[in-house]
Amino acid sequence: NKTIVITGVSSGIGADVAKFARMQGARVIGMDRNPASLSLDGFVQLDLGDPQAIETALQQLPTKIDALCNIAGVPGTAEADLVGRVNYLGLRHLTQSLLPRFNQGASIVNVASILGAEWPKRIEEHKALAQTNSFQTGSDWLAKHPVEQETCYQYFKEALIVWTSQQAFSWLRDYGVRMNCVAPGPVMTPILGDFVSMLGEERVQADADRMLRPAYSDEVADVITFLCSDQARWICGANIPIDGGLASTYI
Ligand code: NAI
Q: Is the pLDDT of residue 212 over 90?
A: yes
Quote the pLDDT of residue 133. 87
Average pLDDT over residues 89-110: 98
Q: Phi/psi zone of residue 186: left (φ > 0), alpha (ψ -120 to 50 degrees), beta?
A: beta
Confidence label for 250 from pLDDT (cuts 50, 70 and 90):
confident
Quote the pLDDT of residue 222. 98
Instruction: List the domains of the chain with CATH numbers.
Output: 3-245 (3.40.50.720)
pLDDT digits (tens, 9 = 90+) for 116-150: 999 999 999 999 999 998 999 999 999 999 999 99
Average pLDDT over residues 82-100: 98
Q: Is 23 helix (H, G, I), strand (E, B) or coil?
A: helix
Instruction: Tell me the CA–centroid distance for residue 74 and ligand 1, in Å.
Output: 6
ipTM associated with this complex: 0.99
3-state secondary structure 139-203: HHHHHHCCCCHHHHHHHHHHHHHHHHHHHHHHHHHHHCCEEEEEEECCECCCCHHHHHHHHCHHH
Instruction: Tell me the CA–centroid distance for residue 10 and ligand 1, in Å.
Output: 9
Q: Is the pLDDT of residue 55 over 90?
A: yes
Quote the pLDDT of residue 249. 87
Instruction: Provide CB contacts within 8 A for 217, sequence distance 6+.
Output: 12, 13, 15, 16, 187, 188, 189
Which residues is 240 bridged to in the sheet?
A: 182
Average pLDDT over residues 143-168: 97
Give the burial string for 19-31 (b: 16+ CB within 10 Å, else e): bbbbeeebbbbbb
For a ligand 1 pocket test, name from 11, 52, 69, 79 the mutation site with the most ligand atoms within 8 angstroms of its C-beta.
11
